[in-house]
Structure 1
């Protein structure tokens, strides 16, 4: 049956663009529809830019499997294409003796997930690596690092376009309707003009709007468990003149829906702290400067020299979480929906951390799901 393209990808963040690049490499005609005016301007642009090792996630979960697989592909891609990155290593610290058991549990979980080189360091070993950090022990992860997320995103956009994909910005998907042998996708541009594409398959990689895109395809997102719970995280930057130095990423033990307010480095060596966690009803990126007091209380558990006057607001991000307040772990959704009555629809929903690290592996999984149709 005639159609305008083989696959429509909704969303031009890191996952949507990695999917597009993977699909064109297998000979598919692809159109990417993005409501913003460029690639990677939502979740991809507002995160810690950390390359995760795969420590935190339950064994055999998609988050564990795709993080471990995606990390290696990410580092290889950055080396090959000259994308900014650094394998800094990471220390997850135990601030008191009663946290040692949880630290060992993390080491065991990470090892079960296939994370290489994990090692528990005692206080003396930690001090030798990071003199400004105070803790009784730390879990060292040598394969963790940082990456230029914008550069990585643009590399996938370039690869997709070179392979023949069409990237269409200012284009919000309004409806996705089943047709014989595929789908009709209707979108509206920033001038209010509507266009329609016929395709064989749709990949929903719409990030913060992925539950709404699934709904527009006809799915009951509540019955499917696909309703998102946006979770805001704020960041503060440390003044470059502050007498505090770290060479690696420093994380507390995870508590609640996030990984705790941690200390990260950017590629220029600047230190920033965050994100915290705040479930929100609307998408907003303001940062209350008065939060620095709470941030300092958390950070000084492992970096005691930090002072509130050295911190300045440094933006915020929103996590597209599937788990709401007080709810247990939820895995990524990367699913072809034939079983739910929507053949040729692939949903990528709840792609929060470690989505940046896992992007290439998510893309490979999507390509495999479509190959089986």
Structure 2
């Protein structure tokens, strides 16, 4: 029987960050990851945007962690030589009717302590990015982009340097709880094994709710329902005029909209949309292209649809459905489920990448 202080289930950006933080406090950690490498799902299938915190309800986990995470992630990326750019972002009002919503977004950002937000006129937008069609815009200078793959690799390297064991191709099949032995995990792997731990952190992303149902004795009524929202990304081929700023439409209830971003090579991509699905499926629905073209042309009318090609898809682990109000990150502890040493992380979707470092500190402080 293997024994350790803490088991973290999931080697995405969140799980790796938590492992790093708990190890820094001097505790032994083992990571269990069902895939063959780290960050295979939500961590690597996103926009790679460093968010500022303008969208989220004041006082929510998303708001407080995002504002702090924005600063910490820039510091971490600089210190670890991870490719990133503080691009700033334009959130645009395409019509005069949308300008009131833009003003509300500014006020929400200010309540969340996002600094240096600025409403800019149509004339100034033209100086920022003359190709963009908009009546006005919110300029958010603290937004940026980061190479998610480099971030994952950096965190994974730190984990290895701290002698944290990461067991890949290891799927947790059952979790038992005992007052005398703590938490016991039964793991299916090439050579299946059992491990005991004082603490278990469920950071399984898309699988977090299903994993929690494998915990014997956990009250069913406290587990949220899991929903999957697929997002498609299209890439733009050839030359383009977008070199400096991210461009976003106003957000909808379930999404920040089909926005324009770019990667370290300068390649422009648009997305994601929202496509509710029943199970995990990364297939690309090319028929979404017409909807993308329509959405993009509201702010870039000169788009040539023939230069838009399928790129990739990602899936957001939501804990609310298409007819429900958006939910905050859920950080569930013994106060809710009465199981000592267990932390469940549910609904860690966007802005999860930006929030990863302060979220890790918060989880570590809850346990140690």
Shorter-chain TM-score bucket reads over 0.9
TM-score (norm 2): 0.97
Q: How many pairs were matched up?
A: 367
Q: Which moved more, 1:106-115 or 1:217-226?
A: 217-226
User: Among 300, 313, 316, which residue is 1:316 paired with?
Assistant: 313
Question: Per the alignment, do residues 185 and 61 of structure 1 end up closer, same or farther by CA in structure 2, a change over 3 Å counting?
Answer: same
Equivalent residue for 2:351? 354
Q: Point out where structure 1 has 5 or more consecutive residues left out of the alignment.
A: none
Equivalent residue for 2:45? 46
* Deviation by residue 1:6-51 (Cα, 9 ceiling, x = unmatched): 0000000000000000000001100000000001111001000000
Question: Per the alignment, do residues 224 and 102 of structure 1 end up closer, same or farther by CA in structure 2, a change over 3 Å counting?
Answer: same
The DSSP-based 3-state class of the residue aligned with 2:213 is: helix
Cα contact 1:132–1:246 (8 A) shared by 2: no
Equivalent residue for 2:100? 101
User: Among 199, 207, 212, which residue is 1:201 paired with?
Assistant: 199
The DSSP-based 3-state class of the residue aligned with 1:43 is: coil
Equivalent residue for 1:281? 278
Cα contact 1:214–1:221 (8 A) shared by 2: no
* Deviation by residue 1:246-278 (Cα, 9 ceiling, x = unmatched): 521100001131111111111111111000001
The DSSP-based 3-state class of the residue aligned with 1:268 is: coil
1:298, 1:200 → 2: CA distance?
Answer: 50
Cα contact 1:119–1:139 (8 A) shared by 2: yes
Q: Which moved more, 1:103-112 or 1:148-157?
A: 148-157
Question: Per the alignment, do residues 257 and 219 of structure 1 end up closer, same or farther by CA in structure 2, a change over 3 Å counting?
Answer: farther
The DSSP-based 3-state class of the residue aligned with 1:83 is: coil
Corresponding position: 1:333 with 2:330 = yes
The DSSP-based 3-state class of the residue aligned with 1:359 is: helix
Equivalent residue for 1:114? 113
TM-aligned CA deviation for residue 113 of structure 1: 0.6
Cα contact 2:222–2:336 (8 A) shared by 1: no
1:297, 1:280 → 2: CA distance?
Answer: 22
Equivalent residue for 2:79? 80
Superposed, which structure 2 residues align to 1:50-65 within 5 Å? 50-65=49-64
* Deviation by residue 1:125-154 (Cα, 9 ceiling, x = unmatched): 111001111100000000000001111112
Equivalent residue for 1:307? 304
1:278, 1:298 → 2: CA distance?
Answer: 15
Equivalent residue for 1:185? 185
TM-aligned CA deviation for residue 245 of structure 1: 2.8
2:297, 2:145 → 1: CA distance?
Answer: 23
Across the aligned residues of Structure 1 and Structure 2, the Cα RMSD in angstroms comes to 1.4
Q: Point out where structure 2 has 5 or more consecutive residues left out of the alignment.
A: none
The DSSP-based 3-state class of the residue aligned with 2:66 is: helix
